[in-house]
Amino acid sequence: MSTHAQIGVTGLAVMGRNLARNFARNGYTVAVHNRTASKTRELVEEFGGEGEFVPAETAKEFVESLERPRRLVIMVKAGEPTDAVIEEFAPLLEPGDMIIDGGNAHFADTRRRERDLREQGIHFVGTGISGGEEGALHGPSIMPGGSVESYDSLGPMLEKISAKADDGAPCVTHVGPDGAGHFVKMVHNGIEYADMQLIGEAYQLLRDVAGYSPAEIADIFRTWNQGRLDSYLIEITAEVLSHVDAETGKPFVDVVVDQAEQKGTGRWTVQIALDLGVPVSAIAEAVFARSVSGHAELREASRHLAGPSARTLGKEEAAAFADQVEQALYASKIVSYTQGFHQIATGSEEYDWDIDLGKVAAIWRGGCIIRAAFLDRITRAYEAQPGLPSLLADEGFADEIAAAQDDWRSVIATAVAQGVPTPAFAATLAYYDSLRAPRLPAALTQGQRDYFGAHTYHRTDRDGAFHTLWGGDRAEVSA
């Protein structure tokens, strides 16, 4: 067995297979392996002509076919399968070798695996990969964590196979140590949930309030895609909405069961945000909205509940309303990304990752599901002010929201008046208004907490913690 493969991929389902082909198409010799060996043979039979593959039936053969230090990519189902594969391969590796986990692992698992393998001298590189199977083949957005040393070895290869942004920059960067890559991928997916929910709410308003058909709404999204909302998700939204079911002749969107599923990365984002104390209300509402949609019995039992009388707009009014919805969608999107980047900044601080937020925005410009012209703006905002405390502190974004806010408020007011659920639109506006409010009812909350639990409070006019003797003479004492 010659030892000349520059990289190996084990786990040859859709993602692994396409990633292996991407490496091979870019001139690398790729060792390929799968638990079920027939998949390895199929890959070489079908795509062997695309480049140089070294098929291996056993773990030992696979490891021996790799040049040193070895670069071994795992693309198996996240969770126990990843641990099983590590257990199988780690004993065959040597200090300096690298295991790259490209699955959607939880970053805490990645931190554990990285720590364990470091003791053996093996670099464990938890790597977020976004773009689905097409991205894996033609160029994904890649978010590697792990050591600087491993990135020195892997970086050039990843840059070659990654997507390229419009300015030609590869959509990959060393995100930070241990679990930083998988953390950033997790938040990426959370933001993706929020983007999809906001688009969904815009669609529902255009349908229920403006009275447009799915085909007409597809055209509106196509127009929006020419402007500041230009993005992959808006583009595919138009495609899905204009699609007609071949069997019934009805709009495709009307024959699909309206219960959204999820694989869990959105839920993780919200769980971790709660642990970190970061308000990511847009992502949370998106996760909850999918959950509500799935409660079929609850929805069935609630159909009789009273709502407002509906009023569909006239033609001219509808066109004006569509323009307002675009403003609302854009303003909500700014807030949703503000929250997502806040979560990354907080995670980075908590785990000492030193993540460059501008670079994260830059590598999301191509290849991944949330790729959008908008990300260029975020990159520039962080480049101009690396210490930007919040995207809303960027003058450009603040000005855009200021210009959009009347329409944003009006759209949400209309949604409420007409009984169209817009939880993510409303949550993002509430976040915005909470941040700008001179006073929040949190002062009252503190008073209540002190009343029933003597939890103490701080005063606006002097330092220290205080407690009021609520059950007595209501004198204030220092706590």
Rounded alpha-carbon distances, angstroms, from residue 27 to 4, 9, 297, 415, 440: 13, 15, 54, 54, 59
Let me know if 300 is a catalytic residue. no
Binding of residue 78 to ligand NBP (CB under 6 A):
yes
Binding of residue 67 to ligand NBP (CB under 6 A):
no
Tell me which H or E stretch contains 467.
strand 465-468
Binding of residue 264 to ligand NBP (CB under 6 A):
no
Is 130 among the annotated ligand-binding positions?
A: yes
Asked whether the CA dihedral 124, 125, 131, 135 is positive or negative, the reply is negative
Residue nearest ligand NBP, CB atom distance: 103
Catalytic residue among 114, 185, 201, 326: 185
Pairing relationship of beta strands 123-130 and 98-101 according to DSSP bridges: parallel
Residue list 121-140, contact with ligand NBP (CB under 6 A): 129, 132-133
Tell me which stretch binds ligand NBP (CB under 6 A): 30-38, 238-246, 298-306, 384-392.
Answer: 30-38
Is 435 among the annotated ligand-binding positions?
A: no
DSSP secondary structure code for residue 368 in this structure:
S
Binding of residue 81 to ligand NBP (CB under 6 A):
yes
Rounded alpha-carbon distances, angstroms, from residue 323 to 204, 309, 328, 330, 388: 15, 24, 9, 11, 30
Catalytic residue among 192, 201, 285, 326: 192
Binding of residue 86 to ligand NBP (CB under 6 A):
no
Binding of residue 100 to ligand NBP (CB under 6 A):
no
Residue written as tokens 């405390």? 389
Let me know if 359 is a catalytic residue. no
Least distance to ligand NBP, CB of residue 83, Å: 9
Kindly report the number of other CB atoms within 10 A of residue 49's CB atom.
9
Q: Which of 1, 3, 26, 36 binds ligand NBP (CB under 6 A)?
A: 36
Is 276 among the annotated ligand-binding positions?
A: no
Tell me which stretch binds ligand NBP (CB under 6 A): 7-15, 218-226, 301-309, 384-392.
Answer: 7-15
Binding of residue 13 to ligand NBP (CB under 6 A):
yes
Task: State the Cα torsion 396-399-404-405 to the nearest 10°.
Answer: 130
Binding of residue 85 to ligand NBP (CB under 6 A):
yes
**Cα–Cα distance, 24 to 106 (Å, whole number):** 28
Is 34 among the annotated ligand-binding positions?
A: yes
Is 77 among the annotated ligand-binding positions?
A: yes
Beta-strand ranges (E) seen in 14-131 are 30-33, 53-55, 71-74, 98-101, 123-130
Q: Which two tokens stand for residue 55?
A: 């098929």
Binding of residue 398 to ligand NBP (CB under 6 A):
no
Active site residues: 185, 192
Known binding-site residues equal 11-16, 34-36, 76-78, 104, 130-132, 188-189, 193, 263, 290, 449, 455
